[in-house]
Structure 1
Amino acid sequence: MVAPHLAAPGGKPYEPPRFTGFLVFALLGIAAGAETAGGALRPAWLSWAGLAVSSLLYGFVVVMSFRGRPRPAWIALAALAAVVTALAWRFGGGWHYLFPLVGVACGVALYGRAVRWALAALTAVTAATVWAAGGRIDLILAFSWGTFSTGVVVAVILHLHAVIGELRETRQRLAEAAVAQERLRFARDLHDLLGHTLSVIVVKAEAARRLARRDPGQAERQAADIETVGRQALGEVREAVTGYRRGGLADELDRAADALRAAGVEVVLRRTGPPPGAHAESLLGWVVREGVTNVIRHSGATRAEIHVTGTSVTIRDDGRAGPAEPGTTGVGSAGSGLRGLAERLAESGGLVEAGPLAEGGFRLSARLPGSAPSP
C-alpha cells in the first residue's frame, strides 16, 4: 500500500518533503565502496556493479514514491532488497550497511501495515545475514536495530507531514465554509429585513399620496411613519451587518399589524401559551416579518389572522393563493424568502409549512421543536 501523502495532487496547500532530501541516504554504501577499493571484497567488479545497481534502485524507489506511482516503486524496492541481501551474503562486511538503506526505502514506499510487515521481515533477514557472516551479538543487534529504526523513523516523519497537510487543508475548508455560511446569513437577513421594510414604506407612501389632498394631517402622519420605518430599517441593517440583530417578537407584531392596517388589511392577532424563549422569540419574529411581507406584497387579502404561541406562528389570509394547488405544504418551489425562512428554522430543528387553502386564501405555519400544530 503506497503512502497516500506522497502522491502530489495539484493545488494542495501543503508540500511534503522533497525526494532530494532522501537521496543522501545512498551514502550508506560508502563502507562497501571503501572496502571494495581497498581490495577486501573480491571480485571487485561484482561489488562495484552491486553498489551502482543498489544506488540506482534506491533512487528510483524514492522518485517513484514521491511521484505517486506505487507499482514501479514496489518492484524496485523488491529488487533492491534482493540485490542487497544477495551481495551481503556474498561479501559481508561493509555490505551490511546497505540494509538500513533498504529500511529507508521501505519507509518511503510503503504505508500502514505494509511498512510494518516489510520492516519486520527485513530486520529478520539482516540479523540472519550478519549472523551467517560470523558477526557477534552486538553487531547483529546493531545492524538489525539500525535497519528497523531508520525505516520506522522515515515512515513516521512522512506520516506526520501527511497529517499536517491534511490539517491545513481541513482548516482551509472550514474557513471557506464559515465565509459561505456568513454570506448566506447576511443575504438572508438583508432579504428578510429589506423585503418587509420596503413593503411597509411603499404601502405607507401610497397611503400618504392618496391622503395628501383629502386629509393633509393624516398624510403627514403617514409620512412621519415612513421616516420612522426608514430609520428603524437603517439601524436593523447595521445590526445585521455586524451579526448582532435580535428581533423582538412583540415589536415585530406591532409593526406587522401597523403595516397590514396601512395596506387596508383587517388584522386579527391572537397570542396563547407561555412566552417564548429568547432564541424562539427571535425566530418567530422572522416568521411574522416574512409572512406579513408576503401578505402585503402578493396576496391582495382583505383579512389576515396571526396566531402566536410559545413555539409556533400561523398566518392565514383570504387573498389569492398563488399558483400552487390547494393542500401544498412544502416550500421547495416557493420564493427565496420562504426558502430562507425554512433554512433558518431548520438549523434549530423547526419546520415551515406554506400553501394555499382549499377554501381559499393562504396559510403559513412555522413550528419549533416540541410544538404542536397551531389550530
Structure 2
Amino acid sequence: MTEQISAPPLARGGAQVERETGTDMRDECRNAKDRKARKARKAQWKAEWKADWPARKAAWREAEKARKARGEAPDYGSGPMGPPNAFTLLPWLLLGMGAISNLLHGKTPNPWIGALGLLLFNSLYITLVFRAFDKRAREAAATRWCLAALAAVTCAMAGAYGDSWLLFFPLLGLATGAVVRGRRLGQVLFGISALAGVIAGLREGWDALGIVYGTFLSGMVTAAILALAETVRELRDTRQELARNAVDQERLRFSRDLHDLLGHTLSVIVVKSEAARRIAPRDLDAALGQVRDIETVGRQALTEIREAVTGYREASLAAELDRARAALTAAGIEPVVRQSGPPLPPQAATLLGWVVREAATNAVRHSGAGTCEIEVHGGPERVRLVITDDGSGVGSTPPGSGLTGLGERLAAAGGTLTGGPVPGGGFRVTAELPVETGEGDEGNG
C-alpha cells in the first residue's frame, strides 16, 4: 500500500497567493496607464479649449455687435439653456420600459395585441408632442382626435393589463398638458385623472392613488412650463420690436436735428456769401468781414454736427435768438425780439429754440420780408412763442419738413405748433408749450 503525499496546504496557498498577487499588479499597472491616458487627454482638451477661447469669444462679440446694430436684443435664450421643444418630452417614454419588459419576458397575455397597442401609443404620443409646439397644428381638429385616440389606447391597455401599463396614464397627462391650453386644461385633466383613478382602482386597489396624482401633476406641470416658455418667447420678441422702434425713433430724431442744423447754417452761409459778393467791388474790408463770418459759421456748424451725432446737443433759446438776430440782419431783415415772463424750463427752452431756428431760417430763405418779430411770453402754466414776418404772404415761409417735425415734437411734449399767412401780408408761426412746475423751478434756480 502506497501512501500518497500531497502538497502541504500552505504551499498550495502560497502559489495561489503568488498568482493572485501577479494579477493584481498587472491590473494596477493597467489602471495606472489608463489614469495617465485620461490625464493626458484632459490636459490636451484644456489646452485646445484655451487656444480656441479667444477666437470663439471674438466671434460671439461680433455677433452681438451685429445684433445690436440691427436693433435686436441680446441672444440669451439659445444653446443648451434654450426653451423646451418636442425632443425634451420624448425621454418620458422610458416610463413604458416596464411594459416592454413584460412583453419580452412573456408576462403579458396576447403579446401581439400588447405590442401593437404599445406601438400605437408611442406613435400617437410622438405626433402630439411635435404638434404641440406649432400653434396652428396644436389648435387643429386632427390634434384633438389624436389626443382622444391616445386616451382610448391608454385606457384599453391599462384596463386589460394593469401593473406597469398603468404608467401610461401619466404620459397621457403629459401629452394633454402639452396640447391643451387655457381654461379647458383643468377640466380635461380632471376627467383624465378621474378615469385613471377608476381603472387603476379596479386593477390595483388603493395602491393606485399614485397614478391619479402623477397623471394630474404631469399635465399641470407640463402646461405651466410650456406656457412660461411661450411667455418668455413673446417677451423677447416684444423687446426686440421695441428695440427696433427705438432705433427708428432715434434715426428720425437725428434726421430732424440734422435738417434743422444744416438748413439754418447753409442759409446763413448763402446769405453772407451773397452779401460779400455784392459789397466786394465797393468795400473789400466789409466783404472780408462777411467771409470771416462765413468761416465762423462753418466752424460752428461742424461743432454742432459733431455734438448732434453724439446726441448731446440742446438748442438754447437765448443762443438761438442771438443767431436769429445775426442771420436776419445779414439778410437785410430787421429783427425785433421781445421776451417776457420768468425763465423757462430747459425742455421748453430747447424746443422753442428749435422753433426760432426753423422760423428764422424760413424767413431768410423764402419771405423777402423787411421785418421779423419774435415774441416770447412766459406764464405760470404755458409759454407762447410768436414769430411774424411781413414777407410776401402765402408763399413766404411754407411749412416744410422742418415745421412738420417740430410740430410732432411739440405735440409729444403736450404743446402745439401752427403756421399760416397773416391777413394783409406776411407769415406767422405760433408755438405753445406747457410749463411743468418741477422743471420751471429748476429753471428759475
Could you say whether these structures have the same fold, taking a TM-score greater than 0.5 normalized by the shorter chain as the test? Answer: yes
**Correspondent of 1:233 among 297, 301, 307:** 301
Question: What pairs up with 1:1-375 in 2 under 5 angstroms?
Answer: 16-67=83-134, 68-70=136-138, 71-136=141-206, 139-310=207-378, 311-322=383-394, 334-369=399-434
Greater CA drift, 39-48 or 153-162? 39-48
CA distance in 2, matches of 1:323, 1:92: 92
Q: Give yes or no for contact 2:367–2:391 (8 Å, CA) kept in 1.
A: yes
**Deviations 1:296-340 (Å, cap 9, x if unpaired)?**
11111111111112322111111123359xxxxxx9x93111111
Greater CA drift, 113-122 or 100-109? 113-122
Q: Percent identity?
A: 49
Greater CA drift, 34-43 or 109-118? 34-43
Q: Larger helix proportion, structure 1 or 2?
A: 2
Q: Give yes or no for contact 1:275–1:309 (8 Å, CA) kept in 2.
A: no
Amino acid at match of 2:96: G
Larger radius of gyration: 2
Amino acid at match of 2:386: T
CA distance in 2, matches of 1:57, 1:255: 78
Q: Give yes or no for contact 1:307–1:313 (8 Å, CA) kept in 2.
A: yes
TM-score between both structures, scaled by the size of structure 1? 0.87
Q: Could you say what secondary structure the match of 1:309 adopts?
A: strand
Amino acid at match of 2:181: Y
CA distance in 1, matches of 2:144, 2:126: 13
TM-score between both structures, scaled by the size of structure 2? 0.74
Greater CA drift, 196-205 or 32-41? 32-41
CA positional deviation for 1:292: 0.4
Moved over 4 A (4+): 13-16
Q: Which runs of 5+ in 1 are unaligned?
A: 1-12, 325-330
CA positional deviation for 1:213: 2.0
CA distance in 1, matches of 2:183, 2:311: 49
CA distance in 1, matches of 2:241, 2:96: 45
What is the aligned length?
Answer: 351
Please tell me the root mean square deviation across aligned C-alpha atoms, in Å. Answer: 2.2
Q: Which runs of 5+ in 2 are unaligned?
A: 1-74, 437-445
Amino acid at match of 1:267: P
Amino acid at match of 1:299: S
CA positional deviation for 1:370: 5.5
CA distance in 2, matches of 1:73, 1:61: 7
Amino acid at match of 2:131: M
**Deviations 1:22-50 (Å, cap 9, x if unpaired)?**
22322322222322343433233322222
Amino acid at match of 1:227: E
